[in-house]
């Protein structure tokens, strides 16, 4: 409509100008102002240049939204964000489909519901006083049972402590964990603390047996992050997150960094006088408090030994710098940091159903000229899930 008005205005102006110049007597091929206006009004309006700014909204409302649909024309700012996401998603989540597939894309099943049984225990072993007195402790197995719903980057988990529920006790172990997995990167952050709990003392010097020990407390938190080099053929998520499906056997070198803080206290004054006689130098307070930073390098391999079956083993040792705090047993010192992370998984996939058994070991080894102490966190998980 605006184009018509502009054309009419220009023709009217030109007509008036011609009349003033005396061209109104020009014969034959010159149209009168009235004829020109009539022809312009009869001309069809060209609507090809008119753009509906809300067309992208209408298309999404009618056909549904897929962020990878390139036929949708977004506004400039929104288009930049969508294209940036597509690029980032392709860079971080690209797989060779001959080796790894995403069930959410191939079947459209983007959500999972899982029943989970999680069991964990702590284990402690080392030597006191010039490495002359061995010590060994272990916790009871803590068993959790619950469910998890996850999809579209969201996850909801609810677990109850079965052992404490049956025994009528309160939960004193606290555990928070966050993980982020793509084809190239694996990141995991954790916080764990157990207090007011008992463990089993199995060895102290020359003594061996099983005594309930209430003088141990532990707090630890940290961050592990590593890069998956063969990320197009190997998927860590297929074995431990169940968001991918490994079709063919493959492995990859893994390398990254870690940050860790560990604080383990053993108050041996809670032991009987008979047991304290096995302690060296009459020291009853042992505390291993330190902070680590370093590099981790290892290897992960997934063996597809039969259709629908996957076995994975991942071993990632680490080495770096350790700072021992002044209130630690050896005081303020700079030490060598050595730790070990290991995982194992057995996964069975049958259509939209999947079943898994997972084992995880996280160990921190403290060594100095006088003491050694290895504290580890171990989990055993059983999972049954369904994609929908």
What is the rounded CA–CA span in Å between residue 376 and residue 322?
Answer: 17
**Most confident segment among 71-80, 165-174, 227-236:** 227-236
**Confidence category of residue 16, pLDDT binned at 50, 70, 90:** very low
- Of the ranges 27-36, 106-115, 360-369, 372-381, which one carries the lowest mean pLDDT score? 27-36
Query: Are residues 172 and 44 located together in one domain of the fold?
Result: no
> What per-residue confidence (pLDDT) applies to 179?
86
Residues 233 and 127 grouped into a single domain:
yes
| DSSP per-residue letters across 200-246 | EEEEETTEEEEEEE--EEEEEEEEEEEEETTTTT--SHHHHT-SSEE
The answer to which of 53-57, 162-166, 281-285, 339-343 has the lowest mean pLDDT is: 162-166
Q: How far apart are CA 341 and CA 295, in angstroms?
A: 12
- Are residues 16 and 133 both part of a single domain? no
Of 46-55, 171-180, 187-196, 313-322, which gets the smallest average pLDDT?
46-55
- The pLDDT tens digits of the residues spanning 159-171 come to 887 766 655 555 5
Q: How high is the pLDDT of residue 7?
A: 52
Is residue 41 domain-shared with residue 111, that is, in the same domain?
A: no
Give exposure, 338-369, as e/b (b: 16+ Cβ within 10 Å). Answer: bbbbbbbbebebeeeebebebebebbbbbbbe
At residue 38, the pLDDT reads 52
pLDDT in tens, 244-273: 999 999 999 999 999 999 999 999 999 999
Residue 83 within any structural domain of the chain: no
Could you tell me if 21 and 130 lie in one domain? no
Indicate if 37 and 125 belong to the same structural domain. Answer: no
Q: Is residue 224 part of a domain?
A: yes
pLDDT tens figures, 58-77: 777 777 777 777 778 888 88
Same domain, 144 and 272: yes
Q: Is residue 244 part of a domain?
A: yes
Distance from C-alpha of 213 to C-alpha of 139, rounded to nearest angstrom: 10
- Domain span at residue 24 reads 1-50
| Same domain assignment for residues 280 and 360 | yes
pLDDT band at 42 (very low <50, low <70, confident <90, very high): low
Backbone angles phi, psi at 163, to 5 degrees: -65, -45
What number is the average pLDDT over the span 90-108? 83
| Confidence band for 20, pLDDT divided at 50, 70 and 90 | very low
Whichever domain contains 149, its CATH number is 2.40.128
Residue 285 lies in a domain: yes
Domain count, the chain: 2
- Confirm whether 88 is domain-assigned: no
36 and 177 within one domain:
no
pTM over the 0.85 mark: no
Residue 236 shares a structural domain with residue 381: yes
CA distance 276 to 283: 9
Dihedral-angle region of residue 270 (phi above 0 means left; psi in -120 to 50 means alpha; beta otherwise): alpha
Residues 46 and 111 in one domain: no
In this prediction, what percent of the chain has a pLDDT beyond 70? 83
Rounded CA-CA distance 96/310 in Å is: 17
**SS3 state at 12:** helix
Q: How far is residue 241 CA from its own chain's centroid?
A: 9
Structure-block tokens of residue 202: 């199995």
Helices 2-20, 33-42: crossing angle, 10 deg rounding: 170
Confidence of residue 44 (pLDDT cuts 50, 70, 90): low
Residue 66 lies in a domain: no
Domain annotation covers residue 375: yes
Say if residue 126 is in the same domain as residue 46: no
In a domain, 92, yes or no: no
Last residue of a domain, one of 32, 50, 68: 50
Whether 143 shows a pLDDT value over 90: the answer reads no
Q: What is the 3-state secondary structure (H, E, C) of 83-109?
A: HHHHHHHHHHHCCCCCCEECHHHHCCC
Residue 257 is encoded by which pair of tokens? 């960094």
């Amino acid at each position: 409509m605006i184009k018509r008005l502009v054309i009419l205005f220009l023709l009217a102006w030109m007509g008036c100008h011609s009349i003033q110049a005396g061209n109104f007597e020009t014969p034959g091929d010159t149209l009168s102002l009235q004829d020109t206006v009539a022809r312009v009004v009869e001309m069809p309006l060209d609507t090809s240049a008119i753009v509906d700014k809300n067309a992208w909204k209408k298309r999404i409302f009618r056909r549904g939204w897929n962020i990878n649909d390139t036929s949708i024309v977004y506004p400039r700012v929104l288009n930049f964000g969508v294209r940036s996401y597509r690029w980032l998603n392709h860079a971080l989540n690209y797989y060779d489909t001959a080796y790894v597939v995403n069930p959410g894309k191939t079947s459209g099943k983007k959500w999972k519901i899982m029943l989970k049984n999680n069991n964990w225990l702590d284990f402690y072993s080392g030597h006191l006083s010039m490495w002359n007195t061995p010590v060994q402790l272990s916790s009871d197995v803590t068993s959790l049972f619950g469910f998890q719903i996850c999809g579209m980057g969201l996850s909801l988990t609810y677990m109850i402590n079965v052992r404490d529920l049956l025994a009528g006790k309160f939960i004193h172990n606290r555990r928070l964990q966050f993980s982020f997995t793509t084809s190239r990167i694996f990141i995991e952050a954790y916080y764990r603390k157990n207090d007011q709990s008992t463990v089993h003392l199995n060895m102290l010097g020359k003594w061996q047996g099983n005594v309930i020990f209430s003088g141990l407390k532990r707090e630890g938190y940290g961050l592990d992050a590593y890069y998956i080099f063969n990320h197009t053929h190997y998927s860590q998520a297929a074995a431990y997150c169940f968001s991918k499906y490994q079709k063919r056997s493959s492995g990859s070198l893994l390398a990254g960094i870690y940050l860790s803080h560990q604080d383990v206290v053993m108050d041996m004054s809670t032991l009987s006088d008979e047991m304290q006689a096995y302690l060296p130098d009459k020291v009853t307070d042992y505390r291993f408090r330190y902070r680590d930073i370093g590099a981790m390098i290892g290897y992960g391999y997934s063996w597809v030994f039969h259709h629908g079956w996957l076995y994975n083993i991942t071993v990632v040792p680490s080495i770096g710098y350790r700072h021992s705090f002044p209130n630690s047993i050896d005081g303020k010192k700079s030490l060598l940091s050595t730790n070990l992370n290991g995982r194992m998984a057995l996964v069975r996939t049958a259509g939209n159903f999947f079943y898994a058994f997972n084992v995880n070991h996280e160990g921190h080894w403290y060594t100095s000229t006088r003491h050694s102490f290895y504290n580890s966190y171990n989990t055993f998980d059983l999972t049954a899930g369904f994609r929908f």
